[in-house]
Amino acid sequence: MTASTHPVRRPVTPRATASETGADTGFGPLPDWDLTDLYSAPDAPEIARDLDRVEKACADFAATYEGRLASLDTPAMLACVHAYEEIERIAGRLMAFAGLRYYQNTTDSERAQFVQNLQEKVTDFTAPLVFFTLEMNRIPDADFARVVDADPALARYKPVFDRMRAMKPYQLSDELEKFLHDQSAIGAAAWNKLFDETIAGLTFSPEGEELSLEATLNLLTEQDRGRREAAARELARVFGANIRLFSRVHNTLAKDKEIEDRWRKMPTPQTARHLANHVEPEVVEALRDAVVAAYPRLSHRYYDLKRKWLGLDTLAVWDRNAPLPMEETRVIDWAEARQTVLDAYAGFDPEMARLAEPFFDKGWIDAGVKPGKAPGAFAHPTVTDVHPYVMLNYLGKPRDVMTLAHELGHGVHQVLAAGQGELLSQTPLTLAETASVFGEMLTFRKLLDAAETPDQRKVLLAGKVEDMINTVVRQIAFYDFECKLHDARRGGELTPDDINALWMSVQAESLGPAFDFMDGYETFWAYVPHFVHSPFYVYAYAFGDGLVNALYAVYEDGDADFQAKYFDMLKAGGSKHHKELLAPFGLDATDPAFWDKGLGMISGFIDELEAMERA
């Protein structure tokens, strides 16, 4: 069973926002989720009904098909897949509702209890389905192909089967697979929950007033350097005070992964992620190597420019996301943010804006920061017969507008892919960031075209470069940190100092010589949720940014059919490999030069900023 409680998330960087209520906060009333399209309430009779349906459907599925998959003809195999997909849909609806309620307030014990109890029930009920993948993978390739290829209605599920059968060399015995399924709700999932609840419960007092993590991170984007420094030092103090707990979470999860990987004979800690993403390891390594080689001409060069703009000999970590001195310090109200993004989407294609509008009007966005609410932002696809939900933490900063554009891109993608059905709509992470980053690029380009002065253009270009560095350079540095962490953990328990040292080894390399790192920054790995929830997820952001930069270059070149091709790509969901999806645009991510093309766009923006300095 693959119903997920973890949505597609943004990288949690200091672009996060903060207010303490979803009411009118000075930038207009902010929307809250209306979850009634899933269920009306946690005690709704439909929840008990659907739990009963899942339990019965799983038992019936096992009684009908266990031990018989290899003997099924094509019509029977198609019926089997449809039955499995229906179980995914019902269980996915239950877990989406519980998960979204939980993320609204992770410190609410009732919500935490509700999601845990539901997860345990769904895990128990779906235990009889473990045989499905195991038996499917034992069918000889020739016999499997003969059954699947005989009917286009079944053959359309081939990408699902391909991803499933890619796990064949790493499959364990039936008993061990059932054991892993049964213990999942109280294994890694429990450590994930401990991390979420701890992060949501942290409080910071950089200026005397008690603030959440979001509010404190937001101070790192203030004009006043003293406020930024106070926030950074308070973050370091609180992370340091909790570092043993965060170290325990990471040690336990890394060891848990190492044990499972060892039993499955996975060649590397990254293998499972690459298989899930349906991406070749050499493609990821080509991306990683291209980005690391580009550090000097991207982040190192840009931050040296920023050092000069801020009039500093060296940058401190609290200067990384500082606004430029000439940047306007105005708050962007929600209505303006909405119009900015919708206009940018409509400028690309009116259909894109039409698909995004219901998110604003129908309770599909939760925008305000409230006590206990999960940090960062994400888009959750829920299930294909409902709709996605977007979570933000909106304060009215320009970067919050770009986050809105990003998450709405996810939402539009998920709406379009829903037509593929429950199993084929799930886009691999490497392609899941395509529409979100493209939505950001459309919004940025619209704002850049509207710039009236050189200073306005400079601020917009600098902001975009910083976002791209956060999405590409910073995320590849995160990926290298994870690789080092999991490799080191295989040699034994890591102390907090050990993990801190690994973090600093990638930070200095990626950010460059313009920076001086304060004492305490070595603990900033502690709050990044991707390391806990989705090991090695982070390269997907760099993959998506590079892919979109290459795509946008094709769009700018005036491909007359670009919009139609683009919508077809989003509608495909997870039904095609990245090579097949990019072929209509003349792009190939397996070509090492592909990544240099994407990185060249970032370098070109820095060239323009340098030219503005010389003018």
pLDDT tens sequence across 12-67? 332 333 333 334 456 778 999 999 999 999 999 999 999 999 999 999 999 999 99
DSSP, collapsed to helix, strand or coil, labels residue 383 as: coil
Nearest to 338 by CA among 410, 401, 428: 401
Nearest to 3 by CA among 97, 80, 77, 79: 97
Task: Answer yes or no: is 60 within a domain.
Answer: yes
The residue type of 470 is N
Residue 563 has pLDDT above 80, yes or no: yes
Task: Answer yes or no: is 506 within a domain.
Answer: no
Q: What average pLDDT does range 246-258 have in this prediction?
A: 96
Q: State the average pLDDT for the chain.
A: 91
* C-alpha pair distances (Å), 13 with each of 17, 41, 90: 10, 33, 34
**CA separation for the pair 406, 434 (Å, rounded):** 10
Task: Answer yes or no: is 589 within a domain.
Answer: no
CA end-to-end span of the chain: 60
**CA separation for the pair 402, 64 (Å, rounded):** 50
Q: Domain limits at 101?
A: 33-166
Task: Answer yes or no: is 326 within a domain.
Answer: no
The total of other beta-carbon atoms located within 10 Å of residue 455's CB is 15
Nearest to 102 by CA among 245, 5, 2: 5
How many Cα atoms within 13 Å fall on the side-chain side of residue 356?
Answer: 25
**CA separation for the pair 530, 533 (Å, rounded):** 5
Q: Are 408 and 439 spatial neighbours (Cβ–Cβ below 8 Å)?
A: yes
The residue type of 417 is A
Residue 536 has pLDDT above 80, yes or no: yes
Cβ within 8 Å of residue 583, ≥6 positions away: none
**CA separation for the pair 472, 287 (Å, rounded):** 10
CATH number, domain with residue 156: 1.20.140.70
**CA separation for the pair 318, 241 (Å, rounded):** 20
The residue type of 435 is A
The total of other beta-carbon atoms located within 10 Å of residue 389's CB is 28
Q: Are 271 and 575 spatial neighbours (Cβ–Cβ below 8 Å)?
A: no
The residue type of 351 is E
Name the domain count of the chain: 1
Nearest to 346 by CA among 337, 336, 356, 359: 356
Q: Are 287 and 546 spatial neighbours (Cβ–Cβ below 8 Å)?
A: yes
| Cα angle: 234, vertex 237, 240; to 5 degrees | 145
Q: Please write the tens of the pLDDT for every residue from 278-294.
A: 889 999 999 999 999 99
pTM of the model: 0.83
The residue type of 220 is L
Cα torsion 467, 472, 477, 478: sign = positive
Nearest to 476 by CA among 503, 506, 452: 506
Nearest to 253 by CA among 601, 11, 535, 590: 535
Tell me what pLDDT residue 511 has.
95
| Cα angle: 74, vertex 79, 82; to 5 degrees | 125
Tell me what pLDDT residue 8 has.
38
Task: Answer yes or no: is 20 within a domain.
Answer: no
Q: What average pLDDT does range 200-227 have in this prediction?
A: 92
Q: Are 423 and 160 spatial neighbours (Cβ–Cβ below 8 Å)?
A: yes
Task: Answer yes or no: is 91 within a domain.
Answer: yes
Q: Please write the tens of the pLDDT for every residue from 279-335.
A: 899 999 999 999 999 999 999 999 999 999 999 999 999 999 999 998 877 789 999
The total of other beta-carbon atoms located within 10 Å of residue 317's CB is 23
Q: Are 304 and 514 spatial neighbours (Cβ–Cβ below 8 Å)?
A: yes
Task: Answer yes or no: is 187 within a domain.
Answer: no
**CA separation for the pair 441, 443 (Å, rounded):** 5
Tell me what pLDDT residue 559 has.
83
Task: Answer yes or no: is 152 within a domain.
Answer: yes
- Cα dihedral angle (45, 48, 50, 54), rounded to 10 degrees? -170
Tell me what pLDDT residue 12 has.
33
* C-alpha pair distances (Å), 164 with each of 62, 341, 367, 417, 418: 18, 38, 37, 20, 20
Q: Please write the tens of the pLDDT for every residue from 346-399.
A: 999 999 999 999 999 999 999 998 888 988 899 999 999 999 999 999 988 888
DSSP, collapsed to helix, strand or coil, labels residue 186 as: helix
Cβ within 8 Å of residue 149, ≥6 positions away: 155
Nearest to 341 by CA among 320, 367, 323, 321: 367
Tell me what pLDDT residue 16 has.
32
Q: Please write the tens of the pLDDT for every residue from 446-504.
A: 999 988 899 989 999 999 999 899 989 999 999 999 999 999 999 999 999 999 999 99
Tell me what pLDDT residue 431 has.
83
**CA separation for the pair 17, 30 (Å, rounded):** 13
Q: Are 543 and 290 spatial neighbours (Cβ–Cβ below 8 Å)?
A: no
Tell me what pLDDT residue 21 has.
36
Q: Are 463 and 421 spatial neighbours (Cβ–Cβ below 8 Å)?
A: no
Cβ within 8 Å of residue 20, ≥6 positions away: 212, 215, 369, 370, 371
Residue 5 has pLDDT above 80, yes or no: no
Tell me what pLDDT residue 484 has.
98
| Cα angle: 285, vertex 291, 295; to 5 degrees | 145
Tell me what pLDDT residue 25 has.
57
